Structure 1
């Protein structure tokens, strides 16, 4: 018989100090590789960690670091809501004269990483350059991106980043707002929000390895579904009671006719399931399998 209270408390723990120091060293080495590459010197870009590590929702021994390299010599934008259909001048946007292309920025990042770590240590994916781990650092996905602004009204602008996959199209994200909202919910739930995220991520890995679910849903989607659980469902006397409340809310919300169409991503600027590729049925299957596996009634 599994002692689920102790299991959840262990699964909910943050990465060890050793893992955290390797994460910091990984980010520092990538930052140095870019700074030391002559064609990038003087270019307006910023480097920052994003994803589960920086949001403190990664499970132990989840060796992945996402590093954004964001160009801000110009920015991409959308005029939405009150401003839809209006001219960009209404919010003071003028055409950029910066000649530095997206292709050039990507190529310079790739060259900088190969120069610092070796050609064989770098592989190119659809949105990121993968840097192989070594003894002192973690593997990293280095993501070229560009500043993005969404204007909802004259005085309402949400600043994020835009990624252009090699396969075409683009994806907009709001990592700073995601970080801010996640921290606020963590405070509001006495730290239980992120602990339940980490525990559920670990639990779904167990379920996948036991062939009790078809596949693991993405790490960010786990973070989002737990974010939508009301604060009142957290902070019971036990972690087991918290997990029961989380799974019940997710299960009921992802039923046909449930409340999940109104759920948002963590940054709260986009619906989670409306008009997206996220699989609501896979989320429902996860909550169902986890409930049965733990033995809730």
Structure 2
């Protein structure tokens, strides 16, 4: 089954499970499968379940969802996503559900125009705001601009990361897919378009030069969504030096 069909199926199943819930919500996909950067057909389907009613806090919404789904499944909150523990449920095997509330970011104070994001808390209670719709849109547009080389490079680097982890060159989990994709998104389009060989090698080489020659600019790189910063102290950010070490390992492969 292709990604769009699986996503549609999973969203329909979740909407059916939430049938008794009366507050307004939206369900949409995020992550490598919906972004077209996953490596295999066994990749998880990442769904966002976002409440769109103002004033109903995230904690209340999370508890509401746990209660409704708990009537027919064994559910619990994981590190960030809701987990279904029923062994007979397809949700337990292949679907991750991020429970979130709508977050509106106004680039111009006082303007009616805003960017729609999601708000949630991790297992430690730390607040996280992200913009998955913008992440997907910007990735799709860059892939078109580079003739498909951007997403091809992301998949190739993720395969290289998997090999590096198996060879203990990288510690497992230190180079998550989101970080890899955001780093490669920041590589200028001409690097992809002018690459004489595999584009991912040229892209990683560019990142390696960039963090060495201009560490200040490297530390200011944005996420693929174009709103959040990639590096910083937040729970959804990384440390520039750690990312540079990952890039150097991938560059040497």
TM-score (norm 2): 0.85
1:285 is aligned to 2:241: no
- Whether the aligned pair in 2 keeps the contact of 1:25 and 1:136 (CA below 8 Å) is no
Query: Residue 104 of structure 2 aligns to a residue in which SS?
Result: strand
Closer/same/farther in 2, CA of residues 48 and 239 from structure 1, 3 Å limit: farther
Change (3 A) 1:288 1:134: farther
- Rounded Cα–Cα distance in structure 1 between residues aligned with 2:5 and 2:88: 14
The equivalent residue for 1:143 is: 98
1:237 Cα deviation from its structure 2 partner: 6.5
Q: Deviations over 1:210-260 (max 9, x none)?
A: 1112334111001100000000011346652x1221111111222374331
C-alpha deviation, 1:200, in angstroms: 0.7
Structure 1 equivalent of residue 116 of structure 2: 159
Whether 2:67 is the aligned partner of 1:111: answer yes
Deviations 1:135-173 (A, max 9, x none): 866422211111111123233422211112342231111
1:52 Cα deviation after fit = 1.6
Specify the alignment match of 1:54 in structure 2.
Answer: 34
Q: What RMSD in Å do the two structures reach over aligned CA positions?
A: 2.5
Distance across 2 between alignment mates of 1:50 and 1:22: 13
Match of 2:210 in 1: 253
| 1:53 partner SS | helix
Mark the CA change 1:59 to 1:208 in structure 2 (over 3 Å): closer, same or farther.
Answer: same
Distance 2:252 2:123 in 1: 41
**Correspondences of 1:258-277 after superposition (within 5 Å):** 258=215, 259-276=217-234, 277=237
Q: Which runs of 5+ in 2 are unaligned?
A: none
Structure 1 residue runs of 5 or longer lacking an equivalent are 1-16, 75-95
Which residue does the alignment assign to 1:81? none
**Number of matched residues?**
245
Partner of 2:81: 128
Bigger Rg, structure 1 or 2: 1
Cross-structure match for 2:16: 32
**Which residue pairs with 1:228 in the alignment?**
186
Q: Distance in 2 between matches of 1:179 and 1:19?
A: 14
Answer whether contact 1:30 1:113 (CA < 8 A) is retained.
no
Contact 1:67 1:142 in 2 (8 A): yes
Query: What TM-score, normalized by structure 1, do the two folds share?
Result: 0.73
Q: 2:46 aligns with which of 66, 83, 86?
A: 66
